[in-house]
Amino acid sequence: MNKSLTAIILAAGQGTRMKSQLPKVMHKIAQKSLIDFVINQANKVHAREIITLIAPDADILSDHLTQYNNINTIIQNERLGTAHAVQTAMKASDLSTDISLILYGDTPFIGVGTLNNVIARLKNSDAATCFVGFNAADPTGYGRMIVKGDILNKIVEHKEANELELQQKLCNSGIVAIKNQYIKQLLDKVSNNNQKGEFYLTDIVEIAQNQGLSSSYIIADEQETLGINSREQLAVAEKIWQQNKRRELMNNGVTLIDPESVYLSFDTNIAQDVIIYPNVFFKGNVNIESGTEIKSFSYIEDAIIGKNCDIGPFARIRPNSKIGDKVKIGNFVEIKNTIMHEDSKASHLAYLGDAEIGIGSNIGAGTITCNFDGKKKGKTIIGNGAFIGSNSALVAPLNIGDNATIGAGSVITQDVEEKALAIARPVQKNIPGKSKV
Ligand code: UD1
Ligand code: MG
């Protein structure tokens, strides 16, 4: 815990350009909300307190934030500007820490290294504030940073900037660390006498100067400062995130045959020597152990997959599935809330839901666990070494013992004891000479 740090996350913006019912910071990259990225960073720099400013109508966001026990969620009733947002936070906290770190809820990629740098730079200097700047490829819309050597003299918002200032490529990311001993005297002086009629946090740079104080800055990579304002920017951010994650996996020894076509979640864990074929999608909470191959067009969600498995093509693995070592799940097999123990196989066209499949058991093509009777779900438990013939309907709740065999095309409604052969289908009758052809 960093006793000296308060993180203030500004997330009260309307996000109009997202054209969404959802508060902007609840939109996701790699299946994780933008706000969660930022909270994660605040926790990583060990903020003692985290204050999040949200809009009055953002119930989904405030509900979401209740999962964290170290967040003080404050409603900013009127959004009068970035300085006003910080002032609203100050009403909710006495800021007894040394430094306030202002973060934006819609800037998810800011690096922990950068945040540690800005905090360290501020701590080790006489400056009252330290801003994070970046060299913008296209500075349009950003506040320009006017610097001299290590000193930040002024930040001028795009709308207020003159010709010369507009040529400046060093822009304000919005992220700033402020010494709390000065924060009140600086913010008290901010006015809204500007083009947008807003209270600009960036005005504290000149205010500090007028009070005989100074400001400093650090420069971060532009990618870290990427802000999300539209669906298009969300897609750009998703792409960047995916590229980074794919690179990280490959560097850790995972083969992605066509990296661009594999989509990962923020919490996807894939071990060394796993091979992922083109066009595979991972939803949340998937762990894959070494030596497994995931073939094309598989969609995998909330599952643990063991070592040396052979999954897909066209496998669908749904939540709460646990796949043991050396399991085979072939094309058009859907698995849900099911344990498949090692060496078991479902090679083609099957639905296994709310089931447990024993070691080395073989599930024939077209096998369906009938797990839902219209009202409630039932379990199907299959022992070790069992053989389920093709096109069997296993009506749950059902127990099939070790080494049992189910004849193809059976509808099984009663438990089958170990080593038994169960056949439940009309007996075939051959009538000589009665063929129509
Ligand atoms: C701000 C900076 C600008 C910087 C840019 C980087 C100011 C005055 N300008 O401009 O120098 O280059 O960010 O993207 O600070 N917010 C609130 N409450 C408010 C106002 C804003 O929570 O009352 C939040 C917004 O949701 C957003 C962030 O603060 O996440 C920034 O506000 P925004 O209005 O987007 O500021 P910019 O004009 O982009
Ligand atoms: Mg903005």
| CA 105 to ligand 1: nearest atom | 30
Residue of minimum CA distance from atom 17 in ligand 1: 12
Q: Is 205 helix (H, G, I), strand (E, B) or coil?
A: helix
Residue of minimum CA distance from atom 35 in ligand 1: 13
Q: What is the dihedral of CA 123, 127, 133, 139, to 10 degrees?
A: 170
Low-confidence ranges of the chain (pLDDT < 50): 1
Distances (CA, A) of 97 to 125, 188, 204, 211: 17, 19, 19, 22
Angle 112-123/34-44 helices, nearest 10 degrees? 50
Distance (Å) from CA 227 to ligand 2 centroid: 7
Tell me if residue 46 is catalytic. Answer: no
Q: What whole-number distance in Å separates Cα of residue 33 and Cα of residue 22?
A: 11
Q: What whole-number distance in Å separates Cα of residue 218 and Cα of residue 382?
A: 62
Quote the pLDDT of residue 14: 80
- 214 bridge partner residues: none
| CA 10 to ligand 1: nearest atom | 22
CB atoms within 10 A of CB 293: 16
Quote the pLDDT of residue 336: 98
Quote the pLDDT of residue 3: 62
* Long-range contacts at 386-391 (CB < 8 A, ≥ 24 apart): 386/358, 386/361, 386/362, 387/361, 387/362, 388/361, 388/362, 388/363, 388/364, 389/364, 390/364, 390/365, 390/366, 391/364, 391/365, 391/366, 391/367
| CA 14 to ligand 1: nearest atom | 26
Quote the pLDDT of residue 267: 98
Note whether 195 and 74 are within 8 A (CB): no
Distance (Å) from CA 376 to ligand 2 centroid: 49
Distance (Å) from CA 389 to ligand 1 centroid: 63
Quote the pLDDT of residue 322: 98
Quote the pLDDT of residue 2: 57
Distance (Å) from CA 296 to ligand 1 centroid: 43
Residue of minimum CA distance from atom 1 in ligand 1: 174
Ligand 1 cavity residues, CB under 6 Å: 10-13, 53, 76, 79-82, 84-85, 104-106, 142-143, 155, 157, 171-174, 200-202, 227
Distance (Å) from CA 5 to ligand 2 centroid: 24
Percent of the chain with pLDDT over 70: 99
- Count H helices and E strands in the chain, helices first: 8, 36
| CA 143 to ligand 1: nearest atom | 11
Which ligand has its closest atom nearest to the C-alpha of 157?
1
Given ligand 1 and candidates 51, 82, 154, which is best to mutate, with the most ligand atoms within 8 Å of its CB? 82
Token digits of residue 224:
């870290």
Note whether 136 and 124 are within 8 A (CB): no
Q: Is 387 helix (H, G, I), strand (E, B) or coil?
A: strand
CB atoms within 10 A of CB 209: 16
DSSP per residue over 67-123, as a string? T-SSEEEEE-SS---HHHHHHHHHHH----SSEEEEEETT-TT--HHHHHHHHHHHH
Q: What whole-number distance in Å separates Cα of residue 117 and Cα of residue 132?
A: 9
Q: What whole-number distance in Å separates Cα of residue 362 and Cα of residue 294?
A: 20
| CA 200 to ligand 1: nearest atom | 8
- 412 bridge partner residues: 394
Distance (Å) from CA 106 to ligand 2 centroid: 8
